[in-house]
Amino acid sequence: MSGTSLDGIDAVLADLSQAQPKLLASHYLPFDGALKETLLALHQPDHNELHQAQLAGNQLARLYARSIPPLLAQARVSADRVSAIGCHGQTIRHCPEHGYTLQIGNAALLAELAGITVVSDFRSRDIAAGGQGAPLVPAFHDQVLRHPDAHRVIVNIGGISNLTDLSPDAATTGFDCGPGNLLMDAWCAQHIGKPYDGNGAWAASGKVLPALLEQMLNEPFFTLAPPKSTGRDLFNMAWLHGKLQGGELAEDVQATLLELTCQTIAQAIRQHCAGAKEIYLCGGGAHNQTLRDRLASALPDCSVLTTNDLGVDSDYLEAIAFAWLAQQTLHGKPANLPLVTGATHSCILGAVYRNS
């Protein structure tokens, strides 16, 4: 999995032979600055972008392949024992309103380099059926994190934040809430030269700017009814700069961006997950203590924990989910939830590149 945060690759080796997935090994491979800049640039039209996207896709495939030997070595598992690689690829455009989404990563090259069958392009089939193509992980959450009595909400705070509502009395739903870490990370990189705000310490040093927060919350996406999804196509630095008056203290903007993430998650839970009592965080945002504290304050009737408390590593939950999605593809089983994505029917997702 390499997501909207553009920080690197989360790779896992998962045993899916039982009802509860077992994490056998994990490995993180960071992106270098040049690749990150290339991927950021590909989110916008530019000269020779098709060629640049294909070159970046090849580079990603080689990096994905590099992440595999450390996993196998950790677990002492040979490549011929691996059924498949589930590879999400790197999203550079997500435009379901125009009938497409684009993830690069050259799955054919990855299959060739790894010597393992690859399943990729999970989102396109759902979009073809009228869906948003995202989020896809709620189906996995439904399988492994649902409780027969407790009303849980799983909140993934990556570049974009999304939630899964696991009510014991209703079918599973889920949707993208808005920006998670991507604006905070970009603002950090621009002003203090760090890739992210460790524990939200810099945000905690500033104060929330009410007028700026209100202007950001006026974004129409936040009032759209689910199903809905979003990405860097909407929430990017140009979007943020369009809201600034100039002269704001950088730490105050950071505090306001953190508050935006918290408020949009809390608002989504209050409006669409009525009665929820247990909130479990995953993704990079689960490490941000300031964010967790603010979210707990915004949802005083709920416990706010991480999926580690459910026995699933919060850093690698999404990567495990794409292993599961690949398994669904190989077994010929649908893996989208129409209530989540808005598709007209359930679909078998993914394209398969066989090793032989």
Specify the pairing of strand 152-157 against strand 90-95: unpaired
Q: What is the mean pLDDT of the chain?
A: 96
Predicted pLDDT at 192: 97
Nearby residues of 295 by Cβ (< 8 Å), 6 or more positions away: 262, 265, 266, 279, 281, 304
Give the confidence band of 356 by pLDDT, cuts at 50, 70, 90: confident
Banded pLDDT at 6 (limits 50, 70, 90): confident
Cβ 4 vs Cβ 233: under 8 Å = no
Mean pLDDT confidence for 27-47:
93
Q: What percentage of the chain exceeds 90 in pLDDT?
A: 96
In this prediction, residue 4 carries a pLDDT of 86
- Average pLDDT of the residues in 87-106: 96
Long-range (24+ apart) CB contacts under 8 A made by 38-46 are 39/6, 39/90, 39/92, 40/6, 40/232, 42/92, 42/104, 43/92, 43/93, 43/232, 43/233, 43/236
pLDDT of residue 158: 94
Q: What is the pLDDT of residue 273?
A: 97
- CB neighbours (10 Å) of residue 48? 8
The whole-number pLDDT of residue 23 equals: 96
The three-state secondary structure class of 252 is helix
Q: What is the pLDDT of residues 198-229, one digit of tens each?
A: 999 999 999 999 999 999 999 999 999 999 99
CA dihedral of 133, 29, 64, 231, whole degrees rounded to 10 = 20
**SS3 label, residue 229:** coil
Mean pLDDT of the region 43-50? 91
Q: How confident is the model at residue 194 (pLDDT cuts 50, 70, 90)?
A: very high
Residue 5 above 90 pLDDT? no
Full set of structural domains in the chain with CATH: 8-132+316-353 (3.30.420.40), 146-310 (3.30.420.40)
The pLDDT value recorded for residue 3 is: 87
* pLDDT tens profile 321-343: 999 999 999 999 999 999 999 99
Q: What is the pLDDT of residues 144-160, one digit of tens each?
A: 999 999 999 999 999 99
Cα distances (Å, whole numbers) of residue 269 to 152, 156, 173? 11, 13, 11
pLDDT tens for each residue of 296-309: 999 999 999 999 99
Q: What is the mean pLDDT of residues 176-192?
A: 97
- Residues 165, 170: Cα–Cα separation, whole Å: 9
Q: Which residues pair with 120 in a beta bridge?
A: 351
Q: Name the band, by pLDDT with cuts 50, 70 and 90, for residue 32.
A: very high
